[in-house]
Amino acid sequence: MTPELSSSLFAKAKEIGMMSQGYVWILTNGVVNHLWSMRSVVLNSMQGVLGVETEVPITMELTNFRMKWKRQFQQDNPAIIDFDCDVFGLRAYDAAFALALAVEQVGNASFDFQKRNPSFNSTDLDTFKASQYGPKLVRALSNTTFKGLAGEFSLKDGQLQPSTFKIVNVNGNGVSSVAFWTPETGMVKTLNSTNISILSTSEKFDLIPIIWPGGLLSVPKGWEIPTNGKRLKIGVPVKVAFTEFVKVAKNLSTNTTDVTGFSIDVFKAALEVLPYDLPFDFIPFAKPDGTSAGTYNDLVYQVYLEEFDAVVGDINYYSK
């Protein structure tokens, strides 16, 4: 979600009373990384929000880079004022630097690109050429480690290692730090000043109090559903491609519909951590013959029409 869209979202949430006591808002780093640059009028509509921000260690290299980057960006975009390079931009820079290091390790090998043999059901991707030194370059990149602008750069099984995160709370006229989290130590109050990877555990459970929506200091109970409450209707897309995210299949032995995939697993995992039961049913967005009933826009629009209470899938949200 972009900062502009999140600003509109919380303005509307405040307008309809969803920033009052009893509500809980938790944001991921895609939005929280930009909180520090948001205007006070925007933060005023986000009072009580809790979020996760990617922690980037402040170094002299980072300070110098940001100064040069802002100067160049301002020259190229004079109409945009006070815009900073966020953690995703820093990671992109580190990724390009890592690739350059990997190319140096491979040496002076020729990177001639050869066209692959197109398959019968070829796509536009088959028109791209591939280098025979690709696997060697991948191995070199996997073994590349260095201290980048965004922190330690290290890949494991092709994935960047988890970052240190800062838990922040929007209250008053700004954003306050509540705690830090790393995969090694979990939640702590402060980071060791001499080594960013070593956390102080002296006050591990003495965290800064969180101010929740409506000025509440105690943790809201959340949505308390009566035992006779209706089951939520969760719409899911019916698709033939990228079924690793969502797959809808008819189980002939039980005459039921099985809904599986990464997006489904994430949804179920989120429900498991709730302190209350949330009954639901997956409803495929399909025609009577089992094929898709429309586009992703059509699927999301069903929430507006109140045909579904929510939708789950590989869905992007854009302002319109």
> Following DSSP, what letter does each residue of 196-248 receive, concatenated?
TTSB--TTTT-PPPP-BGGGB-SPP------TTPPPEEEEEE--SS-TTT-EE
For residues 78 and 154, membership in a common domain is answered with yes
Question: In a structure prediction context, what are the per-residue pLDDT tens digits for the chain, which is 320 residues long?
Answer: 777 888 889 999 999 888 998 889 999 888 888 887 777 888 889 999 999 988 888 899 999 999 999 999 999 998 887 778 888 899 999 999 999 999 888 876 566 666 666 555 555 656 666 777 778 888 899 999 999 999 889 888 888 887 788 899 998 878 888 888 887 778 888 776 444 444 444 444 567 789 999 988 888 876 655 555 678 999 999 988 888 999 999 888 888 899 999 999 999 999 998 877 788 999 999 999 889 999 999 999 999 999 999 999 987 755 55
pTM: 0.61
Domain-embedded: residue 197: yes
Number of domains in the chain: 3
19 close to 45: Cβ distance less than 8 angstroms = yes
SS3 of 77-146: CCCCCCCCCCHHHHHHHHHHHHHHHHHHHHCCCCCCEEECCCCCCCCHHHHCEEECCHHHHHHHHHCCCE
**Judgement on whether residues 108 and 248 belong to the same structural domain of the protein:** no
CATH code at 210?
3.40.50.2300
User: Is 129 part of a structural domain of the chain?
Assistant: yes
C-alpha distances (whole Å) from 264 to each of 250, 258, 281, 290 are 16, 11, 12, 19
Residue 193 counted as domain residue: yes
The answer to whether residues 154 and 168 belong to one domain is no
Structure tokens at 87: 């953690």
Q: Is residue 294 part of a domain?
A: yes
Domain boundary among 136, 160, 184: 160
Shortest CA distance to 25 belongs to which of 178, 213, 187? 213
Q: Domain with 273 in it: what CATH number?
A: 3.40.190.10
153 in the same domain as 68: yes
280 falls within a domain: yes
For residue 28, how far is the Cα from the chain centroid? 6
65 and 153 inside one domain: yes
Q: What torsion do the CA atoms of 48, 50, 51, 52 make, to the nearest 10 degrees?
A: 150
Question: Distance of CA 233 to CAs 230, 255, 292, 295, Å?
Answer: 9, 19, 17, 19
Same-domain pairing of 36 and 86: no
Domain that holds residue 253: 232-311
Q: Establish if 209 belongs to a structural domain.
A: yes
> 226 lies in a domain?
no
Provide CB contacts within 8 A for 258, sequence distance 6+. Answer: 247, 248, 249, 250, 251
| 114 located within any domain | yes
